[in-house]
Amino acid sequence: MSIIRNNWTREEVTEIFNTPVLDLIYQAATVHREHNDAQEVQVCTLLSVKTGGCPEDCSYCPQAARYQTDVEVHKLLPTTEVLQRALEAKEAGSTRFCMGAAWREVRDNRDFDRVLDMVKGVNSLGLEVCCTLGMLTEEQAQKLKDAGLYAYNHNLDTSEDHYEEIISTRTYDDRLNTLENVRKADISVCSGGIIGLGEKEEDRIGMLLTLANLPEHPESVPVNALVPVEGTPLEEQPRVSVWEMVRMIATARILMPKAMVRLSAGRVRMNMEEQALCFMAGANSIFAGDKLLTTPNPDVVEDKEMFQTLNLKPREAFKGAAAEKYEAIS
């Protein structure tokens, strides 16, 4: 049985990452079966509750105000609409609902109070409620926790070395600091990254090494393939191959055996066979619904068919969590 470690060396991670790919898949699949039910895949839904107009300069992101993209700016959605969408997501089989806002950081204003209400509402539907709102202070994390927030997504995106090539308006330490604040508030941590940003293999390894050597592993690690969007500085980036996704997913699975490894952005360009390789390599979650935040996602009916063909079972909500802590209010 592989043990949970937080003291990986760069050499070890490099060796795992560079294992011949079929052996790597086999090793990751083995670790996955030791720690998880490999038939189970969690279905999550994303909703952009505040879209575009973001002051940051993340060079992959269609929501940054400084890039001319087709994204329509939209102020914070009304709570009733968000709760309606959460209910629809639940009825369609999702067990986690993640609300995203194109903010640099949370501010203590009325919009934040409204997000706290949304969190309360989604939690009361019996869904794992997740938010991704940018940087957080310890106090803000605590307020989200008190409102019933289950998880917070805040990606490292790439390695520390490559970070300033991609984003100049904040630092890697800012990112790590928010993750620490989330942990202190006893909120489940969701943190991963993107491949296809023009990074080297060392950067992919470096990012996984940072995640795997956090004091506690993130409970959730999204692996995104860049969705190149016209108008962003990375619009011309070549597509990443399925083998690159598989290598990332498998290495994440071996380093962080119990984490949910989420096959996130980029699925729209993968066929079922390619996605099956990712599940084999240890991915155990997808985002369903016609959109991610602003970009397209595979058709819901096709995803249902994929679950049937691959004999996958949707994972229930709050599995592994202390159930009584997150019991639905209604």
309, containing H or E segment: helix 300-309
Q: What are 124's two structure tokens?
A: 């009361």
Torsion of CA 169, 170, 172, 176, to 10 degrees: -150
Query: Coil, strand or helix: which one is 78?
Result: coil
Pair of tokens at residue 22: 């079929």
Q: Shortest Cβ distance from residue 175 to ligand SAM (Å)?
A: 8
Specify the residue, 134 or 192, whose C-beta has the smaller distance to ligand DTB. 192
Q: Which is nearer to ligand SF4, 101 or 205 (CB)?
A: 101
Q: Does residue number 188 form part of the binding site for ligand DTB (CB under 6 A)?
A: no
Q: Which does 226 bind (CB under 5 to 8 A by kind): ligand SAM, ligand DTB, ligand SF4, none?
A: ligand SAM
| C-beta closer to ligand SF4: residue 56 or 128 | 56
Q: Are 289 and 303 contacting, i.e. CB atoms less than 8 angstroms apart?
A: no
Which stretch, 119-127, 202-210, 288-296, 302-310, contacts ligand DTB (CB under 6 A)?
288-296
Name the binder of 46 from ligand DTB, ligand SF4, ligand SAM, none, CB < 5-8 A by kind. ligand DTB
Picked from ligand SF4, ligand DTB, ligand SAM, none, the partner binding residue 64 (CB below 5 to 8 A depending on kind) is: ligand SF4
Confirm or reject binding of residue 129 to ligand DTB (CB under 6 A).
Answer: no
Sign of the torsion angle spanned by Cα atoms 49, 319, 121, 139: negative
Using CB under 6 A, which of 134, 206, 222, 257 touches ligand SF4?
134
Given the rule CB under 6 A, which of 167-175, 212-220, 251-259, 287-295 is the region that contacts ligand DTB?
287-295
Whether the CB-CB separation of 285 and 316 falls below 8 Å is answered with no
Question: Contact between 233 and ligand DTB (CB under 6 A)?
Answer: no
Part of the chain binding ligand DTB (CB under 6 A), chosen from 21-29, 138-146, 179-187, 293-301? 293-301
Q: Which of 14, 270, 295, 304 binds ligand DTB (CB under 6 A)?
A: 295
From the list 61-69, 175-183, 213-221, 315-323, the region that binds ligand SF4 by CB under 6 A is: 61-69
DSSP, collapsed to helix, strand or coil, labels residue 183 as: helix
**Site residues, ligand SAM (CB under 6 A):** 60-61, 63, 100, 102-103, 132, 134, 154-155, 157, 194, 224, 226-227, 229, 265, 293
Length of the chain as a residue count? 330
CA distance 87 to 91: 6
The Cα 84–Cα 38 span in angstroms is 32
The two tokens of residue 41 are: 């895949």
Q: Report the run of H or E that residue 193 belongs to, with start and end.
A: strand 193-195
Q: Which stretch binds ligand SF4 (CB under 6 A): 54-62, 179-187, 212-220, 237-245?
A: 54-62
| 61 forms part of the interface with ligand SF4 (CB under 6 A) | yes
Nearer to ligand SAM by C-beta: 211 or 293? 293
Does the annotation count 44 as an active-site position?
no
Which is nearest to 249 in space by CA: 261, 265, 266? 261
Q: Give the CA distances from residue 145 to residues 46, 116, 186, 202, 277, in Å, rounded to whole numbers and listed in that order.
A: 19, 9, 7, 35, 36
Applying CB under 6 A, the site for ligand SF4 has a residue count of: 9
Q: Which residue has the tokens 């249902």?
A: 304
Q: Is the separation of the CB atoms in 217 and 248 below 8 Å?
A: no
- Distance (Å, rounded) from C-alpha 111 to C-alpha 50? 10
Residue choice 54, 89, 94, 100 for contact with ligand DTB (CB under 6 A) = 100
Asked whether position 102 contacts ligand SF4 by CB under 6 A, the answer is yes
Contact 100, 46 (CB under 8 A): yes
- Interaction of residue 178 with ligand DTB, rule CB under 6 A: no
Catalytically active residues are 54, 58, 61, 98, 130, 190, 262
